[in-house]
Amino acid sequence: MLWVPALINAFPHFQGRRGDLHKSLEELRRLRNRIAHHEALVNRDLATDHWTVLEILGYIEPDAKEWLKHESTITNLLATKP
């Protein structure tokens, strides 16, 4: 089992259930694949995707999450979405 020797160290600030973390990581993997294959993103909830990215980043490094929240322009961009 990888959780104890490896994954717990990869996400030191995660305190939930592994299944919930897996679900979030799987959603990000699917998003990444859509982007990598130049597929349309119009049917995705990009605000939720952005929130998931921030949450995962916070599990790794909370300061990086706060920095990205402050520096990211995605929230403003999504607000202008027609």
pLDDT at residue number 42: 84
pLDDT at residue number 1: 57
pLDDT at residue number 25: 93
d(CA 75, CA 82): 14
The answer to whether the beta carbons of residues 18 and 3 sit under 8 Å apart is: yes
- Give the CA dihedral 75, 79, 81, 82, nearest 10 degrees: 170
Q: State phi, psi for 15 to the nearest 5 degrees.
A: -130, 15
d(CA 8, CA 21): 11
Show the low-confidence residues of the chain (pLDDT under 70): 1-4
